[in-house]
Amino acid sequence: MINYLYAMLDYLVVGLGLAGVSFCETLERNGKSFKVFNDDSQQASKVAGGMYNPVILKRFSLAWKSPEQLVEMLPFYKNLEKKLDISFCEELRVMRLFASVEEQNGWFEAADKSNLAPFLSTQIHPNQNTSIAAPLGYGEVLGIGKIAVSKLLRSYKNHLIANENLILKTFDFKQLITEKEGVGYGDLKAKYIVFAEGFGMRQNPYFDYLPLTGTKGEYLIIKAPDLKESRAIKAGIFVIPEGDDLYRVGATYKWKDSTNEPTQETKLELQEKLERFLRCEYEVVDQLAGIRPTVTDRRPLVGAHPKHDSLYVFNGLGSRGVMIAPWAARKLYDFIEKKIALESEIDCGRFTTKHFLRSD
């Protein structure tokens, strides 16, 4: 038995992206003690566009469990705004540019479906912006907004520092000790540890068997003084207003490049798509890149390690982390603390059993 310097904590958490913040906040709201390790090595949450959107606009279908996630997400972030005394929830109108009559017809067919009707307006909005080519107008997506993710992460990081809950170091797996009654790390001991490392999970020796593939996303930040658009425009890519004549343009989905470095190839690709409908001058002022933690079956990775009772994972939120994170954080908390079974779609056991059967 190792003697530890500090009293036993309820949790250690590794990672402070959207998953880590959502789980830590869930712990705070339930009066649990914890420490967080974070080294700012993962960029996906930092470069996220932050838009929450229940509809897949490429094929006019409802995103997985999005209505359920929206109900939980909005109060979560609003309460966090009050707690941190900042504003990071933004209203945002989102317009789907119609490139053909067939797309218009597909929109109306989708809007007639009961599950999509609350989110797709049946009104065609004519284009009145001379800086955009949209002769067939737009459809408007309802129930959408935007979270200023970078602002949220900075503020929550400062909150944790002020409460002495943040350890600004890279987590060293060699120092992790698993015991029957919890885990140890240096002078710390906790009942549980939750890994919310994003794409960094690929270097986690306890959960690296899970099929986290990672998808690189890149955005451009452009300055377009003549665009004068307050709505987000979806036309193959998104153009999202950022204020001060700045717009976020993207994003891309690359499966083979696992670096956080922007590329000239992607810059040209985004500009080519942008110039299909943009009719004003613009300047590229920045380019951002990050690896989204995506999974082969496009569902989160939540749950317990099969051989270490105190080890848990919270990952794989993909491109819809803003919506999924609060909902999935509560699911994981209830699983650990209340023994409420996880839904099979998110339970990492859907991969764990096969892997460890092969290993034995």
pLDDT tens digit sequence for 183-220: 999 999 999 999 999 999 999 999 999 999 888 999 99
Q: What CATH number did the domain enclosing 175 receive? A: 3.50.50.60
Whole-structure pTM value? 0.92
Q: Are residues 191 and 278 in the same domain?
A: no
**Encoding tokens for residue 187?**
């002078």
Q: Is residue 342 part of a domain?
A: yes
Boundary residue ending a domain (235, 264, 292): 292
Give the chain's length. Answer: 360
Q: Are residues 311 and 345 in the same domain?
A: yes
Residues of the chain with pLDDT under 70: 1-6, 42-47, 353-360
Q: pLDDT value at position 46?
A: 58
Q: Are residues 167 and 285 in the same domain?
A: no
Q: pLDDT value at position 1?
A: 53
Q: Comparing C-alpha atoms, which of 306, 299, 297 is closest to residue 324?
A: 299
Boundary residue ending a domain (292, 311, 333): 292
Q: Are residues 219 and 288 in the same domain?
A: yes
Q: pLDDT value at position 135?
A: 97
Q: pLDDT value at position 259?
A: 83
- Domain extent for 124: 94-143+215-292
Boundary residue ending a domain (292, 318, 351): 292
Q: Is residue 4 part of a domain?
A: no
Q: Is residue 83 part of a domain?
A: no
Q: Is residue 259 part of a domain?
A: yes
Q: Are residues 137 and 220 in the same domain?
A: yes
| Residue 236 falls in which region: left (phi positive, over 0), alpha (psi -120 to 50) or beta | left
Q: pLDDT value at position 180?
A: 84
Q: pLDDT value at position 44?
A: 65
As a whole number of angstroms, the distance between CA 163 and CA 199 comes to 27
As a whole number of angstroms, the distance between CA 13 and CA 330 comes to 15
Q: Are residues 249 and 265 in the same domain?
A: yes
Counted domains in the chain: 2
Q: Is residue 139 part of a domain?
A: yes
Residue 329, classed as helix, strand or coil, is helix
Q: Are residues 231 and 322 in the same domain?
A: no
